């Protein structure tokens, strides 16, 4: 598959880049995508949720009423989980949600996600550009010229660029990542992917 290279004004440059079938044209594996996205979201969880159990509640330990003759169920502590203000039964406790996923599975997942984007014509290639200063307005103009505004867009750059990153950081529907940072979640969570011309070869080498 070949894609036209555009400039930041949205005009064709006359050049084309070839997308490797081994990265952008494989047989997609939906289960690999599911596992990689699941791991990504699990690894983002802090796991600091905590509720107090019966032994952690502050309160008197005296028996609150006599054992028999009250006509109601027996109760030995105000910290009983059945009472308002009592401990929580089987509540969430701090835990680590991280789990391991093989590198080849993660690689297959990224290839599968990129294949879906290529099939749906959701990949745009723009010639390499730099921003001399941090200007969100200029970044909005660029993605507007490339006709990927109004939807979630992902810009993949070859090398970290502070000005580009900070220009897009304040936009809810725009994200900038390097080739090494590109994840299956980012690919699937975006409506359009914009590759810088130099990043196409790099991502194909990585995968």
Domain chopping of the chain, boundaries: 2-45+102-206, 48-96
Considering the chain, what is the average pLDDT of its residues? 94
Residue 50: CB atoms within 10 Å? 13
pTM (2 d.p.): 0.83
Q: What is the mean pLDDT of residues 13-19?
A: 92
- 3 state SS for 30-58: HHHHHHHHHHHHHHHCCCCCCCCCHHHCC
pLDDT at 149: 86
Crossing angle of helices 30-44/103-119, nearest 10°?
Answer: 110
**Per-residue pLDDT reduced to its tens digit, 108-161:** 999 999 999 999 999 999 999 999 999 999 999 999 999 998 899 999 999 999
Percent of the chain with pLDDT over 90: 94
Domain 2-45+102-206 carries which CATH code?
Answer: 3.40.1370.10
């Amino acid at each position: 598959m070949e894609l036209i290279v555009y400039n930041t004004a949205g005009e064709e440059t006359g050049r084309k880049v070839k997308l490797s079938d081994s990265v952008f044209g494989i047989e997609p594996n939906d289960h690999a995508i599911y596992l990689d996205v699941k791991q990504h979201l699990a690894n983002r969880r802090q796991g600091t949720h905590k509720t107090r159990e019966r032994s952690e509640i502050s309160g008197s330990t005296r028996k609150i009423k006599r054992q028999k003759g009250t006509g109601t169920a027996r109760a030995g502590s105000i910290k009983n989980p059945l009472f308002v203000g009592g401990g929580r039964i089987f509540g969430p406790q701090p835990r680590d949600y991280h789990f391991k996923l093989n590198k080849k599975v993660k690689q297959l997942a990224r290839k599968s996600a990129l294949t879906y984007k290529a099939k749906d014509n959701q990949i745009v290639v723009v010639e390499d550009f730099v921003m001399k200063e941090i200007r969100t307005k200029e970044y909005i103009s660029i993605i507007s010229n490339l006709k990927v505004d109004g939807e979630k867009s992902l810009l993949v750059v070859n090398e970290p660029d502070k000005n580009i990153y900070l220009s897009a950081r304040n936009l809810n529907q725009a994200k900038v990542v390097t080739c090494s940072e590109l994840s299956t979640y980012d690919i699937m969570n975006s409506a359009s992917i914009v590759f810088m011309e130099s990043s196409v070869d790099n991502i194909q080498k990585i995968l």
